[in-house]
Amino acid sequence: MTSHISSGDTAWMLASSALVLLMTPGLAFFYGGMVRARSVLNMMMMSFACIGVVSILWVLYGYSLAFDTDLGHGLLGGFGELGMTDAVNQVTGTVPVPVFAAFQLMFAIITPALISGAIADRAKFGAWIVFAVLWTTIVYLPVAHWVFMFDDGNGGWLGDRLGVLDFAGGTAVHVNAGAAALALTFVLGRRTGWPREHTRPHNLPLVLLGAGLLWFGWFGFNAGSAVAANGTAAIAFLNTQVATAAGLCAWILVERIRDGRPTTLGAASGAVAGLVAITPACAAVSPLGAVAVGLLAGALCAVAVGLKYRLGFDDSLDVVGVHLVGGALGSVLIGFFATATVTGGPSGLFYGGGFAQLGKQALAVVVVGSYSFVGAFLLGKLVDRTIGFRVSVEDEVTGIDQVEHAETAYDFQSLGAGHRPPLGGAGAPVPAGAGAHSVTQGDGDGPTGEGTSDSTRSVNA
Amino acid sequence: MRLVTAVVKPFKLDEVRAALEAFGVHGMTVTEAQGYGRQKGHTEVYRGAEYTVDLVPKIRLEVLVDDADAADVIDVVVKSAQTGRVGDGKVWSVPVDDVVRVRTGERGPDAL
């Protein structure tokens, strides 16, 4: 087999991998801004720490189980690439295997990170890490193999063998994460006080910053999934832009009609809903089709986020309403909007392709969603029964940042905090743990909590 | 001596302060406060879910004055803080037994 490396393709894949990595810190901002001021660090750490642990497991066995030669029936990759020793000098398509492996690693990082939004304010950090490793291993790696592993008809059973179209992970990433998020809301239960007490986002500018970083990184996620710098990447890029824009417009339009005012949170959420829905479809639909996908996603998700109140599950940051619903919608819409001029093969119902593709798309959504839901529920229960998944009510009320990380996100410097000399002598450094809580933070939660600002300034006294 | 306390709309602070200065009050303490009266709070909507904000941001302003000035100071505050809409706030005064200027140790009216 004579495969040669294309420098153009390789350059684009290196850049795309870095773009997709940036999505996870972006997600941390997106989620972090939506929680209470006393939980923001924990929320961001649940995403950020995934970069740490998943990268390591990817080299040890993750890449192998997802992308090594199929073990049989397209269910799981082999064990030939454990440690990735042999991959170093190999080429896949027109790019070196290490860049393809790095690109796919970024997907494996953000998928578990997406789940964390459902369990804001109440999960033990250590338990979350254990869960993220277990879920990535037992759920994500096989599903990535099913959907993303192509080997001339001997790859994954959904993508390569059955012909399901999921270009960048509508099922493997978004339905997968959304179904797992739903399962974890049942394992951990509701936040204390929910839904009687609503929490409001403590920092909407952070949410918008996060949405912007996600949008930016998503060009690598979708256009990079062409694994080449070619026409497919180009149409995926353009579709990503217009569907996201349409999602943004649709969501705030729903808000304008239903609630009276378009909101910042709605604009950010609509953009993400559009991104999620176009992910599987970006190399299957025309730009006009992408507008339709985005509009439908923005409108449907804007309504779907209200389901949790009807059904009583505390999906704190709407991972189900945006990622499960948006991912399923985008995957199924391929069955309607796919056009042979873009896919180069199958068409959807609206383009004369009949019901064949639609059936395959629906099957993939159901299979991946069910597998992930059951897997996440069992793994979550396992973690809960052994080391405990949830913090105590007292710790939840105190604030999970302080309890799990011994940190506070914001120092508001109010009422003289921060100006007080250290206990035991001015300028003397205070060792960590020796009353360090009280040194610069006053009573810790007081001024940093919501709505208790009581700062005094003296005017001409 | 009396302590005049006013709770007013934050955007009225500068007007009230200027009016008090013009009247001859040379010191005050200002606090950012939160509360509600007949105005009640307001409602915000996040992803379709209503969030009720019960407590509205206010400014609490405190001035120590001579007994003779108390009624006039209250009038000055009311005039300068009034918009005629709900949420304008309240002004009240209470008697004060003793006042000491920390720098000099002066007591009573001399310390004002």
A460: closest chain B residue by CA: B27
User: Burial of A198 by CB count in 10 Å (0-12 exposed, 13-18 middle, 19+ buried)?
Assistant: middle
| More confident position, A33 or A458 | A33
Confidence of residue A445 (pLDDT cuts 50, 70, 90): very low
pLDDT of residue A449: 40
List the single range of A99-103, A170-174, A422-426 with lowest mean pLDDT. Answer: A422-426
This complex has an ipTM of: 0.77
Å between B60 CA and nearest CA of chain A: 10
- Residues 6+ positions from A272 with CB-CB distance below 8 Å: A30, A211, A214, A247, A322, A326
Q: For an interface test with A, which of B47, B52, B56, B60 has the most A Cβ atoms less than 10 Å from its Cβ? A: B47
Instruction: Report CB contact under 8 Å: A454, B27.
Output: no
A294 vs A330: CA distance, rounded Å: 9
Handedness of CA A420, A425, A427, A431 (dihedral sign): negative
Q: For an interface test with B, which of A30, A35, A36, A200 has the most B Cβ atoms less than 10 Å from its Cβ? A: A200
Model pLDDT for residues A92-129, shown as the tens digit of each residue: 999 999 999 999 999 999 999 999 999 999 999 999 99
pLDDT of residue A336: 97
User: Which stretches of A21-147 are assigned E, i.e. beta strand?
Assistant: 91-92, 95-96
Confidence of residue B37 (pLDDT cuts 50, 70, 90): confident
* Owner of token pair 């909407």: A204
List the single range of A224-238, A433-447, B71-85 with lowest mean pLDDT. Answer: A433-447
Listing DSSP states for A54-69 in one string gives: HHHHIIIIIHHHHHSS
* CB of B96 less than 8 A from some CB of A: no
A409 vs A10: CA distance, rounded Å: 40
| More confident position, B111 or A284 | A284
Model pLDDT for residues A63-74, shown as the tens digit of each residue: 999 999 999 999
pLDDT of residue B50: 85
User: Burial of A68 by CB count in 10 Å (0-12 exposed, 13-18 middle, 19+ buried)?
Assistant: buried
A22 vs A216: CA distance, rounded Å: 9
Å between A455 CA and nearest CA of chain B: 6
* CB of B62 less than 8 A from some CB of A: no
pLDDT higher than 80, residue A435: no
A263: closest chain B residue by CA: B46
Do residues A194 and A120 make contact, with C-beta atoms less than 8 angstroms apart? Answer: no
* CB of B60 less than 8 A from some CB of A: no
pLDDT of residue A440: 40
Instruction: Report CB contact under 8 Å: A455, B31.
Output: yes
pLDDT higher than 50, residue A447: no
A405 vs A391: CA distance, rounded Å: 13
Residues of A within 8 A of B55 (CB-CB) are 451
pLDDT of residue A423: 52
Do residues A229 and A11 make contact, with C-beta atoms less than 8 angstroms apart? Answer: yes
Structure tokens at B93: 């005064």
Provide mean pLDDT across the span A18-35: 98
First-to-last C-alpha distance (Å) of chain A = 85
* Owner of token pair 């994460």: A177
**Cα angle: A265, vertex A404, A320; to 5 degrees:** 35
**Cα angle: B89, vertex B95, B97; to 5 degrees:** 140
pLDDT higher than 80, residue A60: yes
pLDDT higher than 70, residue A448: no
Do residues A402 and A408 make contact, with C-beta atoms less than 8 angstroms apart? Answer: yes
Å between A273 CA and nearest CA of chain B: 13
pLDDT higher than 60, residue A212: yes
Do residues A96 and A90 make contact, with C-beta atoms less than 8 angstroms apart? Answer: yes
Provide mean pLDDT across the span B9-22: 95
Could you tell me how many helices (H) and strands (E) chain A has, helices first? 19, 3
Do residues A22 and A51 make contact, with C-beta atoms less than 8 angstroms apart? Answer: no
Instruction: Report CB contact under 8 Å: A198, B33.
Output: no
B56: closest chain A residue by CA: A451
* Owner of token pair 């990170």: A113
Q: SS3 helix, strand, coil % of chain A, rounded to 5?
A: 65, 5, 30
pLDDT of residue A244: 98
Whether omega for the bond prior to residue A195 falls within 30 degrees of 0, making it cis, is yes
pLDDT of residue A413: 55
Instruction: Report CB contact under 8 Å: B46, A269.
Output: no
* CB of A455 less than 8 A from some CB of B: yes
Q: Where are the alpha helices (DSSP H) in A305-435?
A: 307-311, 319, 325-337, 340-343, 356-386, 393-398, 400
pLDDT higher than 50, residue B71: yes
Provide mean pLDDT across the span A192-211: 92
Element (H, E) at B8: strand B2-8
pLDDT of residue A425: 46
Give the A:B interface size as CB pairs under 8 Å.
Answer: 60
Model pLDDT for residues A399-422, shown as the tens digit of each residue: 999 999 999 999 865 544 444 444
Give Cα separations from B3 to A250, A455, B103, B107 (angstroms): 56, 20, 20, 15
Residues of A within 8 A of B62 (CB-CB) are none
pLDDT higher than 80, residue A424: no
Provide mean pLDDT across the span A82-98: 94
Provide mean pLDDT across the span A326-352: 95
Do residues A122 and A400 make contact, with C-beta atoms less than 8 angstroms apart? Answer: yes
A278 vs A298: CA distance, rounded Å: 11
